[in-house]
Each structure stands twice: as C-alpha cells, then as structure tokens.
C-alpha cells in the first residue's frame, strides 16, 4: 500500500520480502521451500488517525 508519509511501513514490507527471497535461496540446497505471502489491501483502521495522508502540492 503506497500511502504518503509511510516510508517506515513500506520499507519494512520490502525488507520482509527480500528476507524471504534470500532465505528461499539459502534453504533450497537443504530441500526447504520458502513461500512469501503478501496480502493485498485489508480493511483496517491503519490510516484513520493520520492527520493528512496527502503530499503537499509543491512536493
């Protein structure tokens, strides 16, 4: 989910994906399979308390 001002959230999701990918490569010779499941949008209150989720016009 790409929401302005959520760099930390977005980068943590990217890090989880890369960790899983490298774990898959490292474990393959041992016969271990690693699958990464990345869900789509989930209806939560994640951005309800964000004061403003829009970037400034001059950004």
Which structural domain, as residue segments, surrounds residue 17? 1-33
What are the structure tokens assigned to 3, written together?
């929401």
24 domain residue, yes or no: yes
Q: How confident is the model at residue 54 (pLDDT cuts 50, 70, 90)?
A: low
* 29 in any annotated domain: yes
User: What span, in angstroms and rounded, lies between the C-alpha atoms of 50 and 28?
Assistant: 42
* Residue among 9, 19, 26, 46 flagged as catalytic: 9
Whole-number percent of the chain with pLDDT over 90: 41
What is the total count of domains within the chain? 1
Q: Let me know if residue 38 belongs to a domain.
A: no
Q: What is the mean pLDDT of residues 12-29?
A: 95
| Residue 49 lies inside a defined structural domain of this protein | no
Could you tell me which of 42, 44, 52, 39 has the C-alpha nearest to residue 6?
52
Report if residue 50 sits inside a domain.
no
Tell me whether residue 9 is one of the annotated catalytic residues: yes
Q: Does residue 18 sit within a domain?
A: yes
- The Cα-based distances of 2 to 6, 17, 19, 22, 44 in angstroms read 8, 16, 20, 24, 15
- Are the CB atoms for 5 and 50 separated by under 8 Å? yes
Average pLDDT, the chain: 82
Q: Is residue 43 part of a domain?
A: no
Average pLDDT, integer, range 18-23: 96
Whether residue 53 lies inside any domain: the answer is no
Report pTM.
0.63
Catalytic site residue from 4, 12, 13, 25? 13
């Amino acid at each position: 989910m790409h929401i302005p001002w959520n760099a930390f959230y977005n980068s943590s999701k990217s890090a989880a994906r890369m960790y899983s990918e490298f774990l898959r490569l490292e474990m393959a010779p041992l016969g271990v399979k690693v699958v990464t499941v990345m869900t789509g949008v989930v209806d939560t209150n994640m951005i309800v308390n964000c004061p403003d989720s829009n970037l400034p016009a001059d950004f």
